[in-house]
Chain A
Amino acid sequence: MTAGAPPAPAERLRVRLTVNGAAVEREVEARRSLADFLREDLALTGTHVGCEHGVCGACTVLIDGRSARSCLLLAVQLEGARVTTIEGLTPADGLSPLQEAFRACHAMQCGFCTPGMIVASTELLAATPAPDEAGIREALAGNLCMCTGYVNIVRAVAQAAVRLAVPAP
């Protein structure tokens, strides 16, 4: 590839990044989306694809701590980045306090949007440890849920904020 010219869509390029704390190096087609890279190449199928045009938020992951749509990024753009998926937010044993709150509140039905919701909520609570209802709704407005009407999701995030504010005994 000559400098300045974009690669052909099917041209294979090497990319090195960190995914859920582990170094990853792969050769991928230039056109491979980050979502497909995570799901197909790394078998991290917790990241879901709901619209492939950046609206639904099901594919949300953290890139260097900030939420992003993995369907709108190409894997090769992630050179050197730290990517965190739902798998990286799930403890080896049991669930995180945020996940526990989602379960306690039944903040899902089909569960397809849930990984994206957890990722977006993680970002919110990292920046705003005690969000109010309007703040939660605003922060999650980029993630569609077709099942819950959002009521229990908002409750779960508020409950998680309380759980996280109490230091573990």
Chain B
Amino acid sequence: MSETAAGWVGVALPLKEDARLVAGRGRFLDDLGRPHLLHAAMLRSPHAHARIVRLDVRAAAAMPGVLAVLTGAEAAARSGPIRPLIPTTAAVPDHCLAVDRVRYVGEPVVAVAAVDRATAEDALERIRVEYEPLPAVVDPEAAMRADAPLLYPALGTNVVWHDTLTYGDVDRAVARADGVLRERFTIQRYASTPLETFGAIAEYDAGTDAFEFWTNDQRPGLTISILAASLGVPQSRIRLHCPDIGGAFGNKRRPAYLLVCALLARAAGRPVKWIEDRIENLTALMHACNGIMDVELAYRADGTLLALLVRDVADEGKNLLTPTQHNLIKLGNIVNGYRIPAVRYEAWSVLTNKCPSGANRGIGKPFMCFAVERAMALLARRLGLDPAELRRRNYVTADQMPYTTPPGAQYDSGDYPATLERALERFDYTGWRAEQARARAEGRLLGIGIATSVEPAGTNLASYELVTGRRAASGSAEAAMVRVEPDGHVRVSLGDPSSGQGYETVVAQIVADELGVTPEGVSVARGFDSATTPWLYLSGNYSNKFSVTDVGAVVGAAARVRAKLLRIAAHRLEIDVTDLELRDGAAVVRGAPDRRLAIAELARTAYADVLGLPPGVDPGLEAHHIHQNPLAQPVDADRRVRSQLVFANAAHCCLVEIDPRIGRITLRKYVVVHDCGRELNPLIVEGMVHGSTVHGIGAALLEEFRYDETGQLLTSTFMDYLKPTAADVPTIEVDRLEHPSPVTPLGAKGVGEGGSIPGPAAVANAVEDALAHLGVVVRSLPITPEQVWRWLREA
């Protein structure tokens, strides 16, 4: 930690990157070119499930301007299958283009590279494919049945994983309970739909048999590993760059598309760019996993929770890259913020003929929170308790921290009851309850929703051992480099490419404090470049992990440079190193501020006047550091594991008004009180809370990838897949508590996913609260005006 008084960490510093973004001077993937660049387009399956009987690409290949055509069979001959994040039991080859069989609408079948995108798309129209449609399995419970159509006959099942994990004496808890609330909840497919779609440029250098990629893939570590394995080249001959990334939210990782571009580029002998269009994005990139949760909550008459039993069916679609993650990622915190001593969790991870499921802001936890917080609302009503009071009786309290949940997650710090109280106060809960009663008497429908949640950060891949029985990739770590250049300016790079989190600013703040300089004196590399950025298999922009691993990597690298600067200065000034501090851009003698050496002068010594270095000190001022979060440990003998590592928390309180004539739901007020530990830059933090809360509102009221029973996607444009607009949402009012994490280097926690986790539950609870007197129970999302109108008619 810095000894200087500068204290840039914690300052709401306006963002460096905003200065370019606001002028349209960002550099996004589609802004980049390469000499002799070709453009790709992909022919996609119109069927949810079909056999490819015949494929004729000759007319397309013969078109002027078409330089390469790639079929699935050719892709399979020229590259290996996509290696999954962790190999699970679903060990079937997964090629970058469909081979012999298509398994969801929108699955890529043929790729074409041409002189421009229009020509490539013209060529697609000349491709002839004969399909033999097969029965599609769309519903995950249908897919679990023994007689279900199989996506992969070689697997003999659509079920990737089924297991029951029990923690504590569940049966005894249920037997001595005063009651058990049983309910079934479902969640739909939706996605955060970053405004910039996915894409890549691939270039092949035949002279060195090397590939270079530019992509907005948010998880470069895994992607490089997959590409090298599939292309059969060493990772040292893959170079991958990320420019500015126009939002990601978990969705932007599909190595298959980079592989397609690479194979086209190698075939054509020219670089190839592919930019996903919006229909491709909505149809085929990544959907948040839909699912079914059967929840049983055993309780005492006073509302004390005794056990939680969950049967969790995760619909993976055709996800072979990361199946089972939607189960594993919610297991540790399946009890949300509550002290529930016994847990039984039955997991099903199931393949269906739909778009691959995958990471989407909060991955799995929005459903965890929806199910648990809906159950809490229903239980409060059953017991005649205020929903706030039921929560108060069950929270993990501040004096119980750190608290280990039955499945093994460790809640590191926080005051969950105080977070709720602050939210109720900010919302004016008592006042609005009175107003609600008045409005009800006038026939108006007001509803108040409360939802609170934990927000985990960081992923421990060792949790996959629960599925595979053996350790493959494991742990939680990130890498960073800090270098004082020969002119004294500081350069930093990080294995995690920002997709809107302001790293160029917040990382500069952290390093400025460590080195006693200003953030203006620190340049943080945009994006990612595997040739200049230290990285790991785990590197990337995902899982809320910045505070868990990245900050530690930056602090660690800066601390090494700091130690070296001080050592050089001590030698030059002939003084003990402990008498020096770094501040105001110099090494300064404590108590004698006139005795100082500027960092630029120390850098000159380190790089140019190397005979001036102390004995045993190497030239240069550059350090790498990899921070491994110590909380990430293997699965223990009782099958407990910290699948995620650091826990923020939040309380959401919102007010809806329902128009009884047309079923319209208007959000009139929305208060968030959150606690993400130490806020490194409150301007960034608050923006994250606003944005992720609105993602939750969208999931609650608007967004759904709706499939018909044959597996056709009915919502594949922004005309029918509805996103919240500025006119649909209120100003999100934000307040905060700040309980630093004891397990991260600067006390920060995750914040990017927080709003998206309790948001759907809070809005659902408010809608139900407005309609509860009519017997309405909200069991699924989104809650559309049509649904409300039907409820009102049925009442």
Contact = CB atoms under 8 A, between A and B. Distances in A.
Interface in A119-169: 133, 136-138, 140-154
A76 interface: no
Interface in B665-684: 683-684
A55 B19 contact: no
Contacts of A67: none
Contacts of B684: 106
A95 to B, nearest CB: 6
A150 B729 contact: yes
Contact of B24 (A56, A87, A146): A87
Interface in B28-52: 28, 30-31
B195 A50 contact: yes
Interface in B687-713: 687-688, 690-695
B642 interface: no
A144 B17 CA distance: 20
B195 A144 contact: yes
12 contacts: A45-B30, A55-B717, A95-B23, A108-B22, A114-B21, A140-B727, A141-B726, A142-B725, A147-B195, A148-B687, A151-B687, A154-B726
Nearest to B683: A106
Contacts of B717: 51, 53, 55
Given A108-B22, A110-B194, A133-B731, A141 B691 contact: no
Interface string A43-87: 001111111110110100000000000000000000000000111
Nearest to A134: B727
A51 B718 contact: yes
Given A145-B726, A149-B755, A151-B687, 11 more contacts: A10-B118, A103-B15, A104-B14, A109-B501, A111-B20, A142-B725, A146-B691, A146-B695, A149-B732, A152-B686, A153-B726
Interface residues of B, number: 59
Interface of B is mostly: loop
A51 B278 contact: yes
Nearest to A155: B731
A86 B729 CA distance: 26
Contact of A50 (B24, B278, B692, B727): B278
Contacts of A142: 725
Given A109-B502, A110-B195, A102 B18 contact: yes
Given A90-B24, A144-B725, A151 B690 contact: yes
A109 B687 contact: yes
Given A90-B24, A136-B726, A111 B687 contact: no
A102 B22 contact: yes
B628 to A, nearest CB: 28
Interface in B720-736: 723-729, 731-732
A152 B725 contact: no
Contacts of A50: 195-197, 278
Contacts of A110: 21, 194-196, 244-248, 499-500
Given A109-B691, A140-B726, A152-B690, A146 B731 contact: no
B247 A112 contact: yes
B192 interface: yes
Nearest to A102: B22
A112 B24 contact: no
Identify which of B22, B193, B278, B718 gathers the most chain A CB atoms within 10 Å of its CB.
Answer: B22
Identify which of A9, A107, A110 gathers the most chain B CB atoms within 10 Å of its CB.
Answer: A110
A160 to B, nearest CB: 11
- 9 shortest A-B CB distances, which residue pairs? A46-B24, A111-B21, A112-B246, A110-B500, A109-B500, A149-B694, A86-B24, A149-B690, A55-B718
Contacts of B15: 103, 106
Nearest to A32: B118
B726 A111 contact: no
B440 interface: no
B277 interface: yes
B590 interface: no
Nearest to B755: A149
B691 to A, nearest CB: 5
